Amino acid sequence: MTTRHTLFAALVPALLVAALLTGCTSKTPSATPTPTATPSPSPTPLLPQASGAIPPAVAQVVVAMTTHKPEDLTALVAYQQVACTTAQGAGGPPKCKTGDSQGTVYRVFATGGCEGEWVTDARPILKQIADTSGPLFAVVKLTRPNPDPEPGWPKGDAAMIYNAGSGAGGYFVVADAQIVRAHTYCGAPAIDALLKQLGATEFYVAPPGR
């Protein structure tokens, strides 16, 4: 074998090893882009922006209405012990049932639409207001009248008004951390007349435009 052939034979294995090493060299992987996190939408607040501290009972009513849970409203109801009357006509104390004598005491709740009335079960009226009401219109602080022209009618410390200006919805009156009255409207209410009737002195949550 010639010297040239000997050198070529010696170089072949070295070249093969170099080629294999070059082919096995791993490439630096390209950087994987970090996905951009999509921010979660902010939850709708259950309580409105208020000008002062909202009383706890008011907050509970507003949350129950916002989440549409009439059963939570029922848990806040304060029934009254009121003597019935045999007198006819709208308004006044609850009417005595057949067989009951004048002055029989009933466990009743104050409500009404065009006229005030007393009911023995508050759940239907609470559900009606919850089902027909839209957004909260206003929350007002109430002052109890002195002297009181209607001493037999429950008075409150605050009222929550829903859908004022339309015939749907209604309002709640709370006192001592309980709902003492719940009313539907007799047609579209005049807001100023309603506020005066309730004895509103200031707003916790003002109506639009005030």
- Distance between CA 78 and CA 198 in Å, rounded? 18
Question: CA-CA distances (angstroms) from residue 123 to 42, 58, 76, 81, 107?
Answer: 33, 18, 11, 17, 14
User: Which residues, in sequence order, are CB contacts of 167 under 8 Å at separation 6+?
Assistant: 185, 187, 188
Averaged pLDDT for residues 79-94: 90
Distance of CA 192 to the CA centre of its chain: 25
Which fold would CATH assign to domain 56-78+111-205? Nuclear Transport Factor 2; Chain: A, (3.10.450)
Residue 159: strand pairing partners? 140, 173
pLDDT band at 25 (very low <50, low <70, confident <90, very high): very low
| pLDDT tens-digit series, residues 33-76 | 555 555 544 444 444 455 567 888 899 999 999 999 999 999 99
pLDDT of residue 149: 75
In this predicted structure, the answer to whether residue 195 has a pLDDT above a threshold of 70 is yes
Which pTM does this prediction carry?
0.73
Contact status, residue 130 vs residue 65, Cβ threshold 8 Å: yes
Query: Three-class SS of residue 74?
Result: helix
For 100-147, what is each residue's pLDDT tens digit? Answer: 999 999 999 999 988 889 999 999 999 999 998 888 999 999 998 788
Which tokens belong to 150? 């209607």
Assigned token pair, 149: 């022209």
Give residue 47's pLDDT.
44
Q: Which residue has the higher pLDDT, 119 or 168?
A: 119
Of 113, 164, 174, 159, residue with least CA distance to 134: 164
Q: Are 138 and 203 in contact (CB under 8 A)?
A: yes
pLDDT tier for residue 32 given thresholds of 50, 70 and 90: low
β strands within 113-199, DSSP E: 116-119, 136-142, 158-162, 170-175, 178-184
